[in-house]
């Protein structure tokens, strides 16, 4: 059976007695904590089980991140209990309407045009970009206390406001020690009222981007993550279920395609969104689609698969639920998905991202598959899914 990140919160809600499906077969418990280790891929973990024996030994399922396999989309899928087609956070950056034509919204930083662009909070309020209620709000409405064990800046970030939405208690945490302390604080209470905590750690992803997955620096962070989870497994009371997962995996790029230097690729293209492994192309004119598709397909024939929006939707790339028109409009007229270990970079607008060694977003198992590590509360059993 196949499972995705979008199955986690519905299963947790069911374990709290809230009507609905329980695809992960989680058992009831007083408290539940979901710890997301950014960049913890299932394939990466399997290759480095020697430095992460606790994590590797307690994988109860392998989940698909969903397309695209990138942080903003994946965290939204977790919080909403639904894929991109439903929540509409369809990538690292995507087009939104503007007074002078479409602009790119960086959904991770909630900034315009680039990660370092103008703040978009006032221009594009997160609650309007993503209007559906989250599963955290559902938990709160049914009497579950919501907690966040995250870096302090994330609590009021655009992405949190868009996708998590629920009010809750903040336990500010950036380091693994702070994450561990925050999770223990959530679970250490004498009452019977249930608690849910969303916890997050960014260090593994950061090491992978800067030094590459498999690097000594990345392995050190993975070892530290494993030690943290081992401590939590010992220190948490039996009344708390801990679920550890990732938002995506990662590949080490070995072929860099500089889109800025390929002038022909920009003819007829108004905006290039997404990220280095998944590019959304927004065209000047719809009637130019065939020409642009032919140019990109020929130029990138050994590095990327280029498809139309209609083909991606027909093949349910963003989820099986047909998206609403406003979400459809955010998807590029064309989508270029890098293959192998190629990356499609735009250094002028994305200098930091273009210099990274580790990347994610596309369809490879290294990027798509993430582990689910369970401590208490049962689980679905070990499975592997096809992508």
Domain encompassing residue 367? 5-78+133-251+363-375
CATH number for the domain that contains residue 150: 3.40.720.10
| Same-domain pairing of 203 and 348 | no
| Same-domain pairing of 189 and 330 | no
| Same-domain pairing of 160 and 267 | no
Q: Which residues of the chain have pLDDT under 70?
A: 1, 377-387
Structural domain includes residue 383: no
Q: How far apart are CA 133 and CA 189, in angstroms?
A: 28
Residue ranges of E strands in the chain = 31-37, 59-64, 93-96, 103-106, 111-112, 145-149, 169-170, 195-201, 240-245, 251-252, 255-258, 269-275, 278-283, 304-308, 334-338, 342-345, 358-359, 369-375
| Same-domain pairing of 52 and 150 | yes
pLDDT of residue 378: 53
| Same-domain pairing of 186 and 315 | no
| Same-domain pairing of 353 and 259 | yes
| Same-domain pairing of 310 and 192 | no
| Same-domain pairing of 182 and 73 | yes
pLDDT of residue 386: 31
pLDDT of residue 380: 57
Over residues 59-97, the pLDDT tens digits come to: 999 999 999 999 999 999 999 999 999 999 999 999 999
> pTM for the complete prediction?
0.95
| Same-domain pairing of 272 and 370 | no
Structural domain includes residue 101: no
Structural domain includes residue 380: no
Tally of domains in the chain: 2
Q: How far apart are CA 39 and CA 176, in angstroms?
A: 15
Over residues 312-363, the pLDDT tens digits come to: 999 999 999 999 999 999 999 999 999 999 999 999 999 999 999 999 999 9
pLDDT of residue 384: 30
């Amino acid at each position: 059976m196949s499972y995705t990140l979008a199955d986690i919160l519905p299963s947790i809600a069911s374990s709290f007695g809230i009507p609905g499906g329980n695809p992960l077969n989680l058992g009831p418990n007083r408290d539940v904590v979901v710890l997301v280790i950014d960049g913890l891929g299932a394939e990466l973990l399997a290759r480095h089980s020697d430095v992460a024996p606790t994590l590797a030994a307690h994988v109860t399922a392998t989940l698909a991140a969903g397309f695209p396999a990138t942080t903003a989309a994946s965290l939204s899928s977790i919080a909403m209990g639904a894929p991109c087609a439903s929540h509409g956070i369809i990538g690292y950056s995507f087009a939104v309407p503007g007074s002078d034509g479409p602009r790119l919204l960086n959904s991770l930083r909630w900034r315009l045009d680039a990660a370092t662009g103008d703040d978009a909070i006032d221009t594009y309020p997160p609650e309007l970009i993503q209007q559906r209620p989250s599963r955290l709000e559902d938990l709160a409405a049914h009497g579950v206390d919501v907690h966040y064990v995250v870096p302090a800046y994330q609590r009021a970030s655009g992405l949190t406001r868009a996708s998590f939405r629920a009010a809750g208690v903040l336990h500010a945490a950036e380091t693994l020690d702070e994450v561990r302390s925050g999770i223990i604080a959530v679970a250490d209470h004498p009452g019977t009222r249930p608690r849910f905590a969303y916890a997050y750690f960014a260090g593994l992803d950061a090491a992978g981007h800067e030094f590459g997955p498999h690097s000594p620096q990345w392995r050190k962070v993975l070892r530290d993550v494993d030690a943290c989870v081992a401590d939590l497994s010992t220190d948490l009371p039996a009344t708390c279920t801990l679920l550890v997962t990732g938002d995506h995996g990662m590949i080490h790029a070995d072929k860099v395609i500089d889109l800025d230097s390929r002038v022909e690729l920009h003819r007829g293209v108004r905006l290039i969104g997404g990220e280095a492994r998944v590019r959304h192309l927004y065209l000047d004119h719809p009637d130019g689609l065939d020409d642009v598709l032919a140019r990109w397909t020929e130029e990138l024939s050994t590095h990327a698969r280029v498809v139309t929006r209609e083909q991606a939707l027909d093949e349910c790339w963003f989820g099986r639920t047909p998206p609403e028109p406003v979400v459809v409009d955010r998807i590029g007229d064309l989508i270029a998905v890098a293959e192998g270990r190629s990356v499609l970079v735009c250094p002028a607008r994305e200098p930091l991202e273009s210099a990274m060694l580790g990347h994610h977003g596309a369809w490879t198992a290294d990027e798509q598959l993430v582990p689910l590590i369970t401590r208490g509360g049962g689980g679905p059993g070990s499975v592997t899914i096809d992508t």
